[in-house]
Amino acid sequence: EYESCGKCTPCREGTMRVLELLEKISLKKAANEDLELLEELCRVINETSLCGLGQSSTAHITTALKYFRKEFTDKLK
């Protein structure tokens, strides 16, 4: 979040929204819709960011969702 140059909205704002969603999930305050939103947001950030930082900033989350989905869904309310 603090490494963004701020030139493109997907990276500048998107990473902040990703952080908010991850915190919501970790606090068990998220619903299934939040998990779906997280996936969509990661996809949009990856596809629309202008530089490599933004394009790769969500790769670890996308991978975690792919291989450890149960751990995420267990945290949903």
Contacts of 53 (CB under 8 A, 6+ apart): 3, 4, 5, 11
Residue 66, CA distances (Å) to 23, 25, 50, 62, 69 in order? 19, 16, 25, 6, 6
* Residue 67 resides in a domain: yes
In a domain, 45, yes or no: yes
10-59 pLDDT, tens digit each: 988 999 999 999 999 999 999 999 999 999 999 999 999 988 888 899 99
For the chain, the domain total comes to 1
- Does residue 65 sit within a domain? yes
- For 65, the domain range is 9-73
Q: Does 1 reside within a domain? A: no
Please check whether residue 4 lies inside any domain of the structure.
no
In a domain, 3, yes or no: no
Q: CB-based burial of residue 27 (10 Å sphere; 0-12 exposed, 13-18 middle, 19+ buried)?
A: exposed
Query: What's the pLDDT tens digit per position in 59-75?
Result: 999 999 999 999 999 99
State the alpha helices, DSSP H only, in 1-77: 9-26, 32-48, 52-56, 59-67, 69-73
